[in-house]
Structure 1
């Protein structure tokens, strides 16, 4: 007998689905769908569906409107609840009568009563999107109950591919024994002769008509009718077809529903036919199927983002405000992008292109708003004009409005992925590779490309992660160096600090970063900066519902005060630092003193975690002592070489070092100060030490830096603001005794009296005393150098970083 393949979209909505689940649509007052049932029918048939049904929420109104058309049957999506805890579930019920719909409406709020009725009536039914937490109460235990209650489960076309893959693998692995165990555990009765053999179906779950029939269920039948089709499903011979969705698709649908709402509410068809911007939005949001010309004229009324402008008023002059600037920028983007312009000229591109095209458009517009807002805000901040910052809130609100559908979509899909992770742990408790918390880290920083201790540490972390096959990705903006394990984003803009032009703040492309983190399935976010990129990290963690850890490694409040000369900036800086780091789930600090300072400022001690940092003890080694200064700077062994390595800036307390060194020279003219590094204080420091025994090498790297350390006699580090001080460890590993301040983190990396000396901060007399003592006693220097090297043997960078990585899993 000749057979045929029948296809049906088993989950699709029309205008009879009223209440939206997305808050952004509820905020607008929009309905869940505006699709006309007859249009839905036509689109489905045009896209190859042999049969058409409509599954509106708790309504058969849409299905009844097309019931007279060939190849249809009446269905609905029933909202039900677990009475014990209020967890919401959606049940798809097919081929029902009006009287059955009425009876379902009376008992639907109790899922057990509902399932009993459907079994008694022998109605084909399925649990919709079984891993989607509709009201955030879904747990793996509810999924266990679904497996007992339902013989048919849906692989939902509007959900993440990971959800559908997991549910497919779960039902494939279900055995008779396991199902009986679940039934006994939950005191539930399975149904059918072989209830452990589950059937999967699929539907688009479309609400906007953009994705109708992109996902479907297909069966091989000998007759082209609904009864044969449904019978094959009940017999377990159906095959899901089509593609799963992604956040961009859901966001595009939300925009489209909002478009249809405004178009209907304001009769927008009468405005601006043919203008590039409005026609583009018309086309990209059009609910019409491929090959059908949509009505022209959607004026961008999405909450005032682009205000109403009648024909003849577009782009006539230079933009006077943010809205006019957006209009002009939008037109440029469309005209300069072939895919977008094709939508204006060609109304029938494949529907699958539209979500990506719209994402690129909104991304470009959001970057325009972000750059304009950030430029003005930082300019006001840098000039102390704080009150004018309030005027920027309108721009921030516009940006939030513009992005809200994407933020909602990413959050919805993140919830689904978290549910998959929980179910993997729950359903495979004996599998150690699964039961151990998974860690895939996106580590955000704005200092990767600079020359400082933080950048050095982060680059070493990348190398160790790659060596040990650790799933770490460093995420940053700024100059790209091509280093594996690093994702560089092109900055939207940048801002140079007036007092510190060598430091630039980069504005991160937020949407691209969120999309990247979602696509790479990161499980954890780490922020190494409270700057703009750190703010992006915080936003991403919140949107994707991921734990976020932070590292506090720079005393920014103190730096702000020292750099600007304004003590009020320190108070302001602390307010911001406390606000930012209080958002973290864990805060890693490189010294106990730093942790105590954060706690004193108001951050919970329970969040603060001390971690020991290390260095490459094979690279920094006493064997590198080779007369480096003699060969490069004509400094022989007759002078005692005092070394400083780091940023040459006032916040490192270098004015104190310069003045104290001049005093020490009066007592020992064989002292020679060597400053390795660069920075804003370099020129002034050279002037202060003009005529003194001082050498400024500039930046040193590689072998030169290693030899510079090992060839010195004493390392001096007067900073009171450093939270750690890599240079302290590098000097000691090179066999050089150190002199450090008793404020900040470096003091914790020196054993006073053994590997060096800790002296009171800003105490010139104490500082002079220990330096002169070391300068006059070569044997003491030698012994302290040996002890320093021995002390550093336990500070291997790799071992310390592996301990840190293990702590991420424990914190999870």
Structure 2
């Protein structure tokens, strides 16, 4: 899904670190790639560096022109294109290379963002070197599998994820509901750490009459916005049904879809003549301006672990309607800062959309309250929670190494 790269973070926003940590982050995706994981990890890395920590990035090289930002700050590995998304690369196994790297430059904690071959190699290398390891759980693989006809993979995939994360010292999840779900499936040592939102970038003040005019709309046009990949897992059929229902009530309603993906051509054919604007993938301030220039945000996806677009839309001052799970359940107070529909109840989702079409006063009230709810997830607070988790792991790792050294000394081993 289209997501912004983070703005430069003001160092003064962050309290000084209590201890300088050496952290190795292993991720399959990072800016300039455009997706929620890449944008989130970039914000985390910037925030940790702003607090004085040393963060080494291990990621696949995306193309021949891709170069690391500094010899010790980024380590680029070999990768292969991901099916259906050839511009993205999946890291190849590199256990020995990572062992050599971390023997020479020993981190206090290895943090694994993605569970692919590169992530598994990082886990293997870290365990062999007796390094503390944390991980993220960021993708609802089961729900994605249903949308791509791969439901039969759920059991073996869940077995792999359980094995992967249970070999880590800590797995971070973005919501309490996901923590409970994963605990019920046998995952251990789970800790809730929410995702942040850049409330300086995503701001109602970025609203642009010029952009609305470019779309073909004036200030009185109710503009429904959707931001995300144009892909099966985003439940876009329900989005179109909801907008059609809104237009039956108020024919002025228009839809702007921000994002790109495998369904774009099909959607353009389906929506021909209906006044739908396909804005394509947007980044940085351009994305923020697109958010702020809408009025209503509809998000019918049922495959999110968090859904970064929800707090981004709320921080931008939009009236948000989403299913009541993930970030929406955490941030939205029904009827005050947004509207919710029971999970996988499309008729109720459409009914809530119809409320927004009927009641402009409701829309205005939701827009006013949305930003206040979203800014509670400001990045400095989230980075502070992550720092505390990494400090605790680093202390455990130091204690473990000392104990192992003492045991070997008692046994007369070198």
**Normalised TM-score (structure 2):** 0.84
Higher RCO by CA contacts (8 Å cutoff, separation 6 or greater): 2
Q: Please name the residue that 1:567 is paired with.
A: 151
Of 51, 54, 74, 1:487 maps to 74
- 1:486 Cα offset (Å): 4.2
Structure showing greater radius of gyration is 1
Q: Which deviations, in whole Å up to 9, do the C-alpha atoms of 1:515-544 show, x marking residues without a partner?
A: 222222202111111111111111111111
Counterparts of 2:81 and 2:202, CA distance in 1: 36
Name structure 1 gaps, 5 residues minimum. 1-435
Residues 1:588 and 2:175 aligned together: no
The answer on whether the counterparts of 2:212 and 2:293 sit within 8 Å (CA) in structure 1 is no
| Structure 2 Cα separation of the partners of residues 732 and 743 of structure 1 | 15
Indicate if the aligned counterparts of 2:93 and 2:121 stay in contact, CA closer than 8 A. yes
- 1:578 and 1:628 map into 2 onto residues whose CA distance is 50
Aligned mate of 1:755, from 316, 328, 337: 337
Alignment coverage as a number of residue pairs: 372
Matched, 1:463 2:46: yes
Tell me the distance in 1 between the aligned counterparts of 2:319 and 2:353.
10
Give the Å deviation of 1:717: 0.9
Q: Report if the CA contact (8 A) 1:678-1:698 is conserved.
A: yes
1:523 to 80, 97, 108: 108
Deviation at 1:438, TM superposition (A): 6.8
Matched, 1:775 2:337: no
1:598 aligned counterpart, secondary structure = helix
Q: Are the counterparts in 1 of residues 60 and 89 from structure 2 also a CA contact under 8 Å?
A: no
2:271 & 2:377 partners in 1: Cα distance?
A: 35
Within 5 Å, which residues of 2 pair with 1:715-734? Answer: 715-734=297-316
How far 1:476 sits from its partner (Å)?
0.6
| CA displacement at 1:599 relative to structure 2 | 1.0
Which residue does 1:233 correspond to in 2?
Answer: none
The 1-side partners of 2:57 and 2:209 are apart by 38
Contact 2:174 2:194 in 1 (8 A): yes
Aligned equivalents of 2:67, 2:351: Cα separation in 1: 45
Q: Secondary structure at the match of 1:647?
A: coil
Residues 22 and 109 of structure 2 are in contact (CA less than 8 Å); yes or no, is this contact kept in structure 1?
A: yes
Q: CA deviation at 1:501?
A: 4.2
Question: How big is the shift at 1:443?
Answer: 0.9
Q: What does the per-residue CA deviation read over 1:320-376, in whole Å, with 9 as the maximum and x for residues that have no partner?
A: xxxxxxxxxxxxxxxxxxxxxxxxxxxxxxxxxxxxxxxxxxxxxxxxxxxxxxxxx
Residues 635-654 of structure 1: matches in 2 within 5 Å? 635-654=217-236
- What whole-Å deviation, never above 9, does each CA across 1:284-320 have from its counterpart, x for those lacking one? xxxxxxxxxxxxxxxxxxxxxxxxxxxxxxxxxxxxx
Per the alignment, in what secondary structure is the counterpart of residue 675 of structure 1? Answer: strand
Deviation at 1:456, TM superposition (A): 0.3
Instruction: Specify every segment of 5 or more residues in structure 2 that has no aligned partner in the other structure, as ranges.
Output: 1-17, 397-414
Distance 2:67 2:319 in 1: 35
Alignment partners' CA distance in 1, 2:210 and 2:81: 39
| 1:474 matches 2:60 | no
Q: Verify the 8 A CA contact 1:740 1:759 in the aligned structure 2.
A: yes
Structure 2 CA distance for partners of 1:799 and 1:483, relative to 1, 3 Å = farther
Q: 1:596: Cα distance to partner?
A: 1.5
Contact 2:246–2:357 (CA<8 Å) still a contact in 1? Answer: no
- Residues 38-75 of structure 1: CA distance to partner in whole angstroms, max 9, x if unpaired? xxxxxxxxxxxxxxxxxxxxxxxxxxxxxxxxxxxxxx
Task: Quote the offset at 1:488 in angstroms.
Answer: 3.3
Kept after mapping to 1: 8 A contact 2:256/2:277 = yes
Q: Which one of 384, 388, 411 corresponds to residue 802 of structure 1?
A: 384
User: Which residue of structure 2 aligns with residue 534 of structure 1?
Assistant: 119
RMSD of equivalent CA atoms: 2.1
CA distance in 1, matches of 2:52, 2:271: 49
**C-alpha displacement of 1:503:** 4.3
1:788 aligns to 2:334 (yes or no): no
Deviation at 1:482, TM superposition (A): 4.1
Please give the secondary structure, in 2, of the residue aligned with 1:794.
helix
Change (3 A) 1:481 1:650: farther
Equivalent in 283, 286, 296 of residue 701 of structure 1: 283
- Scaled by the length of structure 1, the TM-score of the pair is 0.44
Q: 1:706 to 1:610 in 2, by over 3 A?
A: same
